[in-house]
Amino acid sequence: MQWLEHLKTINRHKKYVMELCFKLGLYKQGLLHDMSKYSPTEFLVGARYYQGTRSPNAAEREERGYTSAWLHHKGRNKHHLEYWIDYGLDEGSTMVGMKMPLKYVVEMFCDRVAASKNYRGKDYKDSDAYDYYMKSKSHYIIHPETAALLEKMLKYLKDNGETKTLKYIKKRILTKKTY
């Protein structure tokens, strides 16, 4: 029944993201978040490698050397920084992170918080998403302004809690056209 547990994990994650997005007025993004996880390409692989304590992508990567579900997922969901990697315009540049639209950076924040809640369960703390980001950020290909905004929101959450952070994002970040 691994597939059922995997489905529950996906549904719980979507619920957390939807709640956060709705509180921020991002209704369409909350409803449509991660719909590709229900596709056979992602769901069947996720069910096969399901463990319950971490992303099935890690287990698939360990066994196969790559993650078919992740490669599919990141190319279809604009809230992932990996979606926004492209060739740079400067002569001789390689792959670079493109500046993400504001609404997708905020959805990425919601996604990271929801993932932390989902995998940490009762041990979740408001610092978890920030700590995970800081541990991993050295290998990200992400636009500097996008990285700064994401880190700012995650740090604000760590220092001020969820309620205050969502108010801050809604009033101070989402009211701007850009960042």
Under 8 Å between Cβ of 104 and 97: no
Q: Where are the domains of the chain?
A: 82-173
pLDDT tens string 6-63: 999 999 999 999 999 999 999 999 999 999 999 999 999 999 999 988 889 999 999 9
pTM recorded for the entire structure: 0.94
Residues 6+ apart with CB under 8 A from 86: 95, 96, 98
What's the Rg (C-alpha) of the chain? 16
Instruction: Tell me the three state secondary structure of residue 37.
Output: helix
Give the residue from 49, 65, 5 showing the smallest Cα distance to 57: 49
Residue 51 to residue 6: CA distance in whole angstroms:
8
pLDDT tens string 119-150: 999 999 999 999 999 999 999 999 999 999 99
Per-residue pLDDT, 155: 98
Under 8 Å between Cβ of 170 and 163: no
